[in-house]
Amino acid sequence: MKIFSKNELNNYQLSLTYDDISLVPTDISRIKSRAEASTKVKFLDKDFNLPVLSSPMDSVTGIEMAEALSDLGCLGILNRFNMTLDEFIKRQNEFKKVNAVSISLTADESSIAELAEHVDIICIDTANANNLSVLKKCEEVKTKFKVKVIVGNIAHGKSLKDLVNAGADAVRIGIGGGSVCTTSVQTGIGIGQVSSLLNVLFIRDDEKLDIELIADGGIKNPGDVAKAIALGADSVMLGRMLAGTRETPGEVIKYNDQLWKKYRGSASFGVKLKNEFIEGEETMVPYKGTVKNVIDAISDGLKSAMSYMNCLNIDELRNTETFAALSNSSFLERLPKK
């Protein structure tokens, strides 16, 4: 079997996603127990316990989720639909632990100015960052206010330099890979998440661009988080993995003797509530209890991966160069059997 470096995976003839690859431990590990591995990271100049962000979706990140993630040392990006900017600004004293919010392209300058007084990170939440109005908005926010800006999403790195020139500090990578995303089905756009991430990573490094990379969409389990970081992502953004937890907005529903919560795409009918073009689904996910359970599972999985891969810290994990490309049967063999 061939062991692939990142560069070789990047030049693989087909587009790849998380289930197509795995990490191959080759070295004798110097790590005695996974507790020795540190998942601490700096992201956008802030310290975090884990390289994990919550997606700014209305069924994922309200105030409670943003605060819970802050307590757990992760970053929640407050959704722009749950609360108007004006309401957020009025009530911001209650929200001391919220340090990132999403805004739409239509957010006006005076609300952004107020917002910038209270948060350090603003995410310009659009489906496609390869758009002149996104570049313009990013430039406007960066020249007028002292905040870090996240833009997105992109599937390929060709426009990365333009985003950096517009002042973007981080970019969400992934189009068509989200679990409630119907973009690819509706439009035929998008490539596998692993190939997207690697393509942007190599362009960033070859062109020596200063921008952090967020692997966004399609992350289903702690193993996918480990793969994304090993591929070089600075952090991962999660929707479905956090959906259904107690801290997400929305009611717990009992149906067929099971507890559920709603999870829906930002471009779904339920969010838009009008007959526009729809690129997202609405679904129910099993109720998972507190978000701490999910974050602990990610932390444990990541530390265990680091111990297999002989990595004491996240930077070492990011330098992984030993990947396998899985056949369909070897992917299936990896799954537990009933």
Please list, in sequence order, all residues whose beta carbon lies within 8 angstroms of the beta carbon of residue 74, skipping any fewer than 6 positions away.
48, 49, 50, 52, 53, 54, 295
Q: Any contact of residue 181 with ligand IMP (CB under 6 A)? A: yes
* Closest C-alpha to 141, from 166, 160, 118, 170: 166
Q: Any contact of residue 268 with ligand IMP (CB under 6 A)? A: yes
**Which residue among the candidates 74, 123, 138, 181 is catalytic per the annotation?**
181
Q: Nearer Cβ to ligand IMP, position 37 or 154?
A: 154
| CB-based contact 17:193 (threshold 8 Å) | yes
Least separation in angstroms between residue 239's CB and ligand IMP is: 3
Is residue 123 part of the annotated active site? The answer reads no
Instruction: Return the residue nearest ligand IMP (CB atom).
Output: 280
| CB-based contact 141:112 (threshold 8 Å) | yes
Cα separation, 127 vs 267, whole angstroms: 9
With contacts defined by CB under 6 A, how many residues of the chain interact with ligand IMP?
23
274's tokens: 């009008």
Q: Which of 51, 62, 76, 178 binds ligand IMP (CB under 6 A)?
A: 178
Q: Where are the alpha helices (DSSP H) in 30-81?
A: 63-71
From residue 127, alpha-carbon distances to 137, 151, 224, 266 in Å are 14, 10, 22, 9
Q: Nearer Cβ to ligand IMP, position 172 or 204?
A: 172
196: left (phi over 0), alpha (psi -120 to 50) or beta: alpha
Q: Any contact of residue 101 with ligand IMP (CB under 6 A)? A: no
Q: Any contact of residue 192 with ligand IMP (CB under 6 A)? A: no
Q: Any contact of residue 217 with ligand IMP (CB under 6 A)? A: yes
Q: Any contact of residue 59 with ligand IMP (CB under 6 A)? A: no
Q: Which of 17, 102, 183, 235 binds ligand IMP (CB under 6 A)?
A: 183
Specify the stretch interacting with ligand IMP by CB under 6 A; choose among 13-21, 264-272, 291-299, 326-334. 264-272
Q: Which residues pair with 150 in a beta bridge?
A: 123, 170
* Closest C-alpha to 281, from 205, 183, 137, 209: 183
Least separation in angstroms between residue 52's CB and ligand IMP is: 11
Q: Which of 37, 267, 285, 309 binds ligand IMP (CB under 6 A)?
A: 267
The one-character DSSP state at 336 is P
Q: Any contact of residue 102 with ligand IMP (CB under 6 A)? A: no
Please list, in sequence order, all residues whose beta carbon lies within 8 angstroms of the beta carbon of residue 33, skipping any fewer than 6 positions away.
307
Q: Any contact of residue 219 with ligand IMP (CB under 6 A)? A: yes
Specify the stretch interacting with ligand IMP by CB under 6 A; choose among 93-101, 211-219, 285-293, 308-316. 211-219
Q: List residues binding ligand IMP (CB under 6 A).
A: 55, 57, 153, 172, 178-181, 183, 216-219, 237-240, 265-268, 279-280
Q: Which residues are part of the catalytic machinery?
A: 181
